Amino acid sequence: MRKIFLPLAIICCSLISGAQTPVPENFSIQKLADGVYAAIAIVGGHAVSNSGIVDLGDATLIFDSFYSPEAAEDLKKTAEQLTGHPVKYVVNSHFHDDHIQGNQVFEGAEIISTTKTRSLIEENEPATIEDDKKEAADALKKWQNKTVSANDAHAMAEKKMWIAYYEAIVQALPTLTMILPNVTFSDSMEIHGSKRAIQLISYGAGHTPSDLFMYLPAEHIAFLGDLLFIQNQPWLGDGDVKNWMQTLDEISKMNVNVLVPGHGPVGDTSSIRTMRQYIQVVNQTAQSYIDKKISPENDSLLKSPPPYDRWMLSAFFVPNVIGMYESMMKQ
C-alpha cells in the first residue's frame, strides 16, 4: 500500500474477515502449516500490512516488518515464542513504508530485499518521513473529529482504521529510523534452514518498480506482499500493471494452495482472479472516459462501484482510474 493523504470524503474501508487466533491488538496469527504462520493486520491496530513468520528449524524468518516499530516489537516477540528461535532474517517485499518501518526492531538480523527495492527505500523513505512530520498529526485530528453514524458499521470501521493508521505514525516519528536492507539480490534467492528451505523470487516491476514474493515449495504456500490484495483495493499508481498481471499468472501456475496477501485475509489462487477482475473494472472505467473524451478528474460523480466500495482502501478507486486514464492517454 502507498501512503497518500486523500480527502476524507472519498476514503472508505471495510473490516478484514477470517478465522484467526488473536494476539495483541495489532495483528492476529493464523497457522498455515507446522512452523509457518501468517500475521494478519487487525483493523484498528498499528500493523497495517500483513507479515509472515517461518521457522526454518535453526532460525526464524520474518516476511515484511509491519508499519510501526510498536507492532514490529509484538511481531518479534510472538515469532520467537512460536518458533523458539531468534529472528535471523527479515524480508522486505517492496519499498512502501507500511511493510518496512518495523525494520529497526530487528537489530542483528539480516534485512533482505531486491537490489532495486533497497535503492527505492533509500530514495523515498526520508521524504516519506518528512511528509509524515508535516501532515500525519493533522490527518489524525481530522479522523478523530469525523462524525459517523453508529449504525453504519462500514463507516465505523473506516474511522477506526484511519485513526489507527495515522496514530501509529505519529507515535513512531520521534524514534523512527530508516533501516536499509543489508542483503540484496536480483531475481531469486534461497535460504536453507535445518527444517525447511524458502525461495525469494522477483519478476521485477509489479505493485512497485520491484516486488518479491516468498515461496515455500514443500508446503505449497506463498507470501505475496502487495502483489496481492484481498478484500482491499490495490494501489496501482507506483508500478507496472501489465508486468504485475504477468507475475500473478506465473504464480498461478506454481504448485501453491495458500496465498498470503499484503492486505486482507489469507486466500488462494481464486483471489488472484478476483483482483484481476477489479483491475479490469478500473481499466474499463478509464477507457470509458477516453471514449467520452473527458478526464475522470473532472467527474465529481466518479466513485467506487460495488462490491469494491465495501472493500478496505476503496479510496484508491478514483486515483487508480485517473492514473490508468493518464497512462492510456500517453500510449
Measure CA of the first residue to CA of the last residue in the chain; give whole Å: 26
Stronger pLDDT, 315 or 282, i.e. the higher one: 282
HEC-encoded secondary structure of the chain = CCCCCCCHHHCCCCCCCCCCEECCCCEEEEEEECCEEEEEECCCCCCCCCEEEEECCCCEEEECCCCCHHHHHHHHHHHHHHHCCCEEEEECCCCCHHHCCCHHHCCCCEEEEEHHHHHHHHHHHHHHHHHHHHHHHHHHHHHHHCCCCCCCHHHHHHHHHHHHHHHHHHHHHHHCCCCCCCEEECCEEEEECCCCEEEEECCCCCCCCCCCEEEECCCCEEEEEEEEECCECCCCCCCCHHHHHHHHHHHHHCCCCEEEEEECCCECHHHHHHHHHHHHHHHHHHHHHHHHCCCHHHCCCCCCCCCHHHCECHHHHHHHHHHHHHHHHHC
Please, are residues 310 and 14 in contact by the beta-carbon 8 Å criterion?
yes
For residue 331, what pLDDT is reported?
Answer: 81
Domain extent listing, the chain: 13-330
CA–centroid distance for 273 within its chain: 18
Mean pLDDT of the chain: 92
The segment with the largest mean pLDDT, out of 8-17, 149-158, 233-242, is 233-242
The pLDDT tens digits of the residues spanning 2-58 come to 554 444 333 433 333 334 444 468 999 999 999 999 999 999 999 999 999 999 999
CA–centroid distance for 285 within its chain: 24
Whether residue 162 has pLDDT greater than 80: yes
For residue 2, what pLDDT is reported?
Answer: 54
Q: Does domain 13-330 have CATH number 3.60.15.10?
A: yes
What CA dihedral angle connects 239, 247, 325 and 280, to 10 degrees?
Answer: -140
Neighbours of 163 (CB within 10 A): 18
Whether residue 209 has pLDDT greater than 80: yes
Average pLDDT value for residue range 221-247? 97
For residue 156, what pLDDT is reported?
Answer: 87
The pLDDT tens digits of the residues spanning 66-119 come to 999 999 999 999 999 999 999 999 999 999 999 999 999 999 999 999 999 999
Alpha-carbon distance of 156 to 175, in angstroms, equals 30
Please, are residues 181 and 92 in contact by the beta-carbon 8 Å criterion?
yes
Stronger pLDDT, 167 or 153, i.e. the higher one: 167
**What's the alpha-carbon Rg for the chain, to the nearest Å?**
19
Average pLDDT value for residue range 290-304? 95
**With pLDDT > 90 as the criterion, what percentage of the chain qualifies?**
87
Neighbours of 140 (CB within 10 A): 20
Structure confidence at residue 201 as a pLDDT band (50, 70, 90): very high
For residue 5, what pLDDT is reported?
Answer: 45
Q: What cell was used for 187? A: 531475481
Query: CA angle 314-15-210, nearest 5°?
Result: 55
Q: Which of 293, 218, 230, 302 is nearest to 261 (CA)?
A: 230
The pLDDT tens digits of the residues spanning 239-264 come to 999 999 999 999 999 999 999 999 99
For residue 257, what pLDDT is reported?
Answer: 97
Whether residue 223 has pLDDT greater than 90: yes
